Amino acid sequence: MEVLKGLPVAEAINAELIAKLEKFDGAVPHLAIIRVGERPDDMSYERGATKKMDKIGFRCTSFVFPEDINNCDFQAEFDKINNDSDIDGILLLRPLPKHLDEKAIENRIDPRKDLDGISPMNLAKVYAGDESGYAPCTAEAVIEMLDFAGVNLTGKRVTVVGRSLVIGKPVSMLLMKKNATVTICHTRTADMEGTCRNAEVLVAAAGVAKMIKAEYVAKDAVVIDVGINVDENGNLCGDVDFDAITDIAAIASPVPGGVGSVTTSVLAKHLMKAAEAR
């Protein structure tokens, strides 16, 4: 089995962006990262995104607010960032604390700055196949991985496990844009094992540690694992039981070191696109 690591994919995107930036005659693209509170996973993603922007040569500013900020104050602070003409793109780290109205922010964010595809307009563009919008970065990272591996999706039977608006649904739309025949599985799917086993390409985005066992995977299938979980030993793992499929799948992405490694490069790609559009 070929292990499809994310680092070479990310490096290819980074090199392309560095070359673009050298020829770009506008202001250096500027990313705003908005974080509320001190959640370790948010802080980890923020560090990774900041490091990536620095590496490429983009500007990056973090706006950090206390977890107990009230809804009115947060929306006012968000509006300042949203309306700042010096900022090309925004990454809002989610989920927000429960007392904040996340839906209101999704509706407030300028779609031209919405680099992670959270606004209704950008989601609508993903569903319409309109490339002027922004898909969620993780969903697009899946496509980048498959493209890098040389997987021709035209006519392929693809099963996506998970139907969230963050990954499952948008990645299904992106796969269909590549002419794949897509099936979406979820908690009410009657024969998930059989449906997954019928797939030539399997995308696992359920958020359940190691739920995709050997019997879910067809011989020589391509398996992309989007899950980020912690196993019974406290180790990071994906939705796929990776060790169980090594003699079955033709290609599979690991966790950690797979799709997650590509997500911040897709974010940077979106930032460049926003700066060019401006």
- Tell me, what CATH number does 184's domain have? 3.40.50.720
Q: Do 253 and 146 have their domain in common?
A: yes
> Which residue segment(s) compose the domain that 193 sits in?
137-260
The tally of domains found in the chain comes to 2
**Residue pLDDT, tens place only, 227-261:** 999 988 889 999 999 999 999 999 999 999 999 99
Residue 223 has pLDDT above 90, yes or no: yes
Residue 268 in domain: no
Query: Average of pLDDT values for 27-32?
Result: 98
Residue 11 has pLDDT above 90, yes or no: yes
Residue 42 has pLDDT above 90, yes or no: yes
Residue 249 in domain: yes
Q: Do 155 and 227 have their domain in common?
A: yes
At a CB cut-off of 8 Å and minimum separation 6, what does 23 contact?
Answer: none
Q: Do 141 and 109 have their domain in common?
A: no
Phi/psi at 87 (nearest 5 deg)? -105, 125
Residue 94 in domain: yes
Q: Do 100 and 157 have their domain in common?
A: no
Query: Average of pLDDT values for 5-12?
Result: 98
3-state secondary structure 85-141: CCCCEEEECCCCCCCCCHHHHHHHCCCCCECCCCCHHHHHHHHHCCCCCCCCHHHHH
Burial of 176 (0-12, 13-18, 19+ CB in 10 A): middle
Residue 174 in domain: yes
Residue 11 in domain: no
Query: Average of pLDDT values for 100-108?
Result: 98
Query: Average of pLDDT values for 171-193?
Result: 97
Q: Do 146 and 214 have their domain in common?
A: yes
Q: What is the pLDDT of residue 200?
A: 98
Residue bearing tokens 């700042």: 84
Q: Do 93 and 152 have their domain in common?
A: no
Q: Do 164 and 61 have their domain in common?
A: no
CATH number, domain containing residue 61: 3.40.50.10860
> How many angstroms separate the CA atoms of 233 and 23, rounded?
48
> How many angstroms separate the CA atoms of 278 and 272, rounded?
10
Residue 110 in domain: yes
Q: Do 149 and 238 have their domain in common?
A: yes
Residue 196 in domain: yes
Q: What is the pLDDT of residue 231?
A: 87
Cα distances from 170 to residues 111, 154, 160, 176, in angstroms, run: 16, 18, 10, 10
CB of 255 within 8 A of CB of 236?
Answer: yes
Contacts 24+ apart (CB under 8 A), 103-109: 104/75, 105/75, 105/78, 108/75, 108/78, 108/79, 108/82, 109/78, 109/82
Q: What is the pLDDT of residue 232?
A: 87
* Percent of the chain at pLDDT exceeding 70: 100
Burial of 61 (0-12, 13-18, 19+ CB in 10 A): middle
Burial of 232 (0-12, 13-18, 19+ CB in 10 A): exposed
Average pLDDT, the chain: 97
Q: Do 44 and 87 have their domain in common?
A: yes
> How many angstroms separate the CA atoms of 57 and 140, rounded?
22
Strand pairing partners for 157?
181
Q: Do 95 and 145 have their domain in common?
A: no
Q: Do 142 and 253 have their domain in common?
A: yes
Query: Average of pLDDT values for 110-122?
Result: 98
Q: Do 101 and 141 have their domain in common?
A: no
Residue 198 in domain: yes
Burial of 257 (0-12, 13-18, 19+ CB in 10 A): middle
